[in-house]
Each structure stands twice: as C-alpha cells, then as structure tokens.
Amino acid sequence: MPSKIKQCVRNESSEVVSLLLSAKKKKKKNNEDEDIATSSSQNDFSEANIIRDEINETENEIYSSEENDNAELLINNADIKRDLAIWSVKHTISNSAINELLIILRKTFPYLPRDARTLKQTPRDAPITQIQGGNYVHYGLRDCLTDFLSQTTYLNDIIDLNISIDGLPVAKSSLAQAWPILININGTEAVQTVGIYSGNSKPKDVNEFIQPFVDELRELMNENFAYKNKIYKINCRAIICDAPARSLLMGIKSHTGYSSCHKCNQRGEHINHRMVFKFQKNSTLRTDESFRQRSDTNFHKEFNHMAIEDLSVDLIKSFPMDYMHVVCLGVVKTLMNAWIQKKNQPYSLTNQNIVHLNDQLLFLKGKLPREFRRSTRDLKEFERYKATEFRTFLLYVGPFVLKTVLDEKRYLHFLQLSLSMRILLDSKQCQTNNRCADELLQSFVKLLPEYYDASISVYNFHCLTHLANDCLLYGSSETISAFKFENKLGILKR
C-alpha cells in the first residue's frame, strides 16, 4: 500500500476516535454524581479503546492483504512468463516474432524480458567442435528434455522420441549448409534442436557427426531420465528422414541404386535412364538382423560399424516411410508434372484442359478454410509448390478439379491414391481399414505402367507399397511425417 494511503488511514482513525469521545461527553447529564460520571468516563475510554483496536485490526488486514496481493502478483508474473515461453515453444514461434510481441507486451507488463532467448532461457553459447567437413555444436538431449518438462505439463511416464536429421542450405549464394539433429516428443508439437552441424558439404564422417547424440540417447534409454523426483523411460520411437539422409545415416545405397529400398530386397532396373522398380507383390522384407550382418552386400555402402547401430532398436522398422517426402513431394508432384508438363503423351493434358484446371485452382484461391496453411495458386508456379500444397491437392482439391480434365480411368486411378492416404492419415481408420488402404496402394502401383509409362515407377512409387505396414506399427502416417520437422528447419533457416 502506498505511504500516502497508509497516512490517510491513520489520520482518519484518530479523527473517528476523537469524534466518538466528544459525542459521548456531550450526552452526559449535568446532574449525575461524581461516581456515575467517573464510571461513564471509564466506559467512554473503554469503548474508544475497542474502536481503536478495531481500526488497528482493520488496518492490519489491509496491510496483510496488500502483502498477499504483492506475493500473488509476483507469482502471476512468473506464471505469465512461463506460459508465454511454453506457448512460443509449442507453436514454434520464431525469436524475431517473439521479440516484436515482447515490445508490445512490455508497455503493459514491464517485467517481461526484452529478448526471446531470455524468455525461453536459451543458452547463449555452446562448445563448438571441429569435425571432418565443418563444425558441430551439441546442445544436449538431457537439456532439451529438461527444458521441455519445465515448460509443459507432461503426465506420461514414458517419453517416446521422434528423431529427424536432415540438411538444409544456409544461403543461395554459397555452398554453406546445416544439418540439425531434431527431436519431438510423440504426441506433442514442439521440436527441439539437440545438435547442429555446419559446413560447405554434408558431414564427411556421419559417425563423428552423430556419435555424441547416439551416446547420450543410448545412455538415457538404458538408465532412464530423472526430473523433479520423477523417473521417465526414454524410447527411440522413430527416425524420420528423407531418402538421402537415411542413406547417409544407415550407410546404404542411395535411392537411385539397384538395391536401395530399406524395407525389402527388391532390385530395380534401368529404364529410360531411370531406376525403376516394377511392381512385385511379395518381396522379401529386410530385418534388423540381416541389416546388422550385412547379408545383402548390394544394399550396403558402408560395411564398417555405423554409429546408429549402437542403439538397441530395430533399424529397419525404426526408419518409417515419411509421406511428406514420398507421397507429397514425390508421387503427387511426379503425377502433376506428367499431366501438365509432358507433351504428346497419352496421359498429357491438352492445353485447353490445363487452362481449365488452372482456372479452377484460381477460383478456389482464398476460398479454402483458414485451417489450410496455403491456398491454391497458379500452375505457372507449380515447380515452387510446397509439400503442404501437394497434400492439399491430393486430399481435398484434386478429387474436385481433376474430374473434368482427366479421363475416367486415370481419374479413378488418382482416387485410389487419394482415398488410401485419407485412410492412413486417420488415427482410427489407419488400423481398422489398413488392409483396404494397402490393397488400394498396391493396385495403384501395379497400374502405373499401364496408365502412364514403365519409367514412371521410380523409388517413391515403390515406397507406397510399404506405407500401410508402417501404419500398423506406428499409427497414422501423420505421426511419422516430417512436416513438423520441416517447419522447424524453416525457423532455423530464418
């Protein structure tokens, strides 16, 4: 309570006591004897003391209330800062956006920090290690888990980690690139950076690059993780990568190799200068044991021990097919390219149909619900489409706009892909109707050479035959996709 208010309370207390005493004295009768007068006077002072005590008690309550309010305010201030930090991490808000928000909020809440790093208590430095090809910074898996648990109410005793390792260019004008090691706790949206490599090429020695992370993860998987008197079991749920990154981590042939599928031992063949995988119904599946024993010498590129093998996981099942790269950026983009950019082919769209298709896309522009991150755009920008745009086309827009431009058999063929992915992306349908989705995908891949040409059945189309099985292991394809990691890469690049 401000000092002026306190003084005002004291002054008014004295005035009230004086007025009460004066009123009591005026009421005394002049003819009362001395004993009665004395008794009355004592009663007056007694009542005055009672009133004064009541005022003092009230004043103490005011002061006590003020102290409680101040304590509560301090707690609320801490809560606001914590909640704001949790919100920024949960929704992967960039530091620049947080800084702009803090400038606005500090006008009303001056106790908030000026910088996002202070708000999130981000370490300002970390030791830089020189490795072959560049530099590596390891922030630490334990620190990431501690940071997550300190900002989130996490009720489970088990922490299932989704891991992603991928490269991204730092600038268009140089060869500089970065390879972050990212983690996501399954069931949450937050993505954290455990370590990051930077150099003018990909890591020359992948084992040297990931060994600190693998060692820390292995230790936590064996010994568990303790935080605030609670023990958490740590699992490596999935390692989510595109084909080049998976090839690097596992030491296997790239997706252009004859034996490049990490799920089965089917061999490809060259057709029109492309590695093509003809449809086979029951190819022999690879196993963790066959991988570690290097049973298929045509599959492995590195025959020495790989750092990733230090983890006690099934290395075949732990690398699921990521539908963002396989389906959206792979299959859907290839199909659209065949329709609108290939000329003089049975499956090519006429110029009139291309114009009609483009008109429909432009008509839908701005009319999609706000839940869609990106609206439809001109086919002239097709090469710049993002994965989310191909996903929107596959699941929502394509079945509508293609009906009047594709012939019936190719339109129904596209619907096989669209419907199967809608099933596999649903948390319940991916289990209950898994067989249906698998049959649709198998049929889709089988009909490709008939509806298009033999050279279209490249690696990504072959991967479709393994999608349904991954969903039996993991659940919805959304839970093993790279979308949330791709968003984090975009933030890191900015």
Predicted confidence (pLDDT) per residue in 24-73, tens digit: 454 444 445 545 444 444 555 455 555 555 555 555 554 455 444 444 44
Residues 345 and 394 grouped into a single domain: yes
Predicted confidence (pLDDT) per residue in 460-483, tens digit: 999 999 999 999 999 999 999 999
Residues 329 and 458 grouped into a single domain: yes
* pLDDT score recorded for residue 416: 98
For the chain, give the mean pLDDT: 86
Give dist(CA 485, CA 384) in Å, integer: 19
The answer to whether the CB of 240 falls within 8 A of the CB of 162 is: yes
Residues 424 and 487 grouped into a single domain: yes
Half-sphere exposure of 100 (CA within 13 A, CB side): 4
Contacts of 460 (CB under 8 A, 6+ apart): 325, 326, 327, 330, 331, 334
Which of 240, 259, 278 is the last residue before a domain boundary? 240
Residues 350 and 477 grouped into a single domain: yes
Question: Does a structural domain hold residue 310?
Answer: no
Which of 225, 240, 255 is the last residue before a domain boundary? 240
Closest residue by Cα to residue 336 from 368, 379, 378, 366: 379
Residues 43 and 144 grouped into a single domain: no
Question: Does a structural domain hold residue 486?
Answer: yes
> What angle (nearest 5°) sits at the alpha carbon of residue 422, between those of residues 421 and 427?
105
Question: Does a structural domain hold residue 287?
Answer: no
Residues 28 and 136 grouped into a single domain: no
What mean pLDDT is predicted for residues 235-261? 96
Give dist(CA 102, CA 115) in Å, integer: 7
Residues 146 and 199 grouped into a single domain: yes
Containing structural domain, residue 331: 323-493
* pLDDT score recorded for residue 259: 95
* pLDDT score recorded for residue 29: 47
CA distances from 177 to 191, 337, 386, 452 (A): 20, 28, 20, 37
Question: Does a structural domain hold residue 282?
Answer: no
* pLDDT score recorded for residue 109: 86
Residues 67 and 128 grouped into a single domain: no
Total domains in the fold of the chain:
3
More reliable by pLDDT, 289 or 57: 289
Question: Does a structural domain hold residue 397?
Answer: yes
Residues 65 and 171 grouped into a single domain: no
Residues 132 and 58 grouped into a single domain: no
* pLDDT score recorded for residue 371: 85
Question: Does a structural domain hold residue 247?
Answer: no
* pLDDT score recorded for residue 56: 56
Backbone angles phi, psi at 187, to 5 degrees: 95, -5
**What's the DSSP call for residue 267?**
-
Pick from 282-286, 420-424, 427-431: least confident: 282-286
Question: Does a structural domain hold residue 271?
Answer: no
Q: What contacts 24+ positions apart, CB below 8 Å, involve 176-184?
A: 176/200, 177/201, 177/202, 178/492, 178/493, 179/203, 179/209, 180/488, 180/489, 180/492, 181/210, 181/213, 182/485, 182/488, 182/489, 183/141, 183/144, 184/484, 184/485
Predicted confidence (pLDDT) per residue in 69-114, tens digit: 444 444 456 678 778 887 887 677 888 889 899 999 988 888 888 8
Secondary structure class of 367 (helix, strand, coil)? coil
The helix or strand, by DSSP H or E, that contains position 331, with its residue range, turns out to be none
More reliable by pLDDT, 267 or 69: 267
Which of 199, 220, 240 is the last residue before a domain boundary? 240
Predicted confidence (pLDDT) per residue in 425-461, tens digit: 999 999 999 999 999 999 999 999 999 999 999 999 9
Question: Does a structural domain hold residue 360?
Answer: yes
Residues 44 and 189 grouped into a single domain: no
Predicted confidence (pLDDT) per residue in 351-397, tens digit: 999 999 999 999 999 889 888 888 899 999 999 999 999 999 999 99
Residues 211 and 348 grouped into a single domain: no
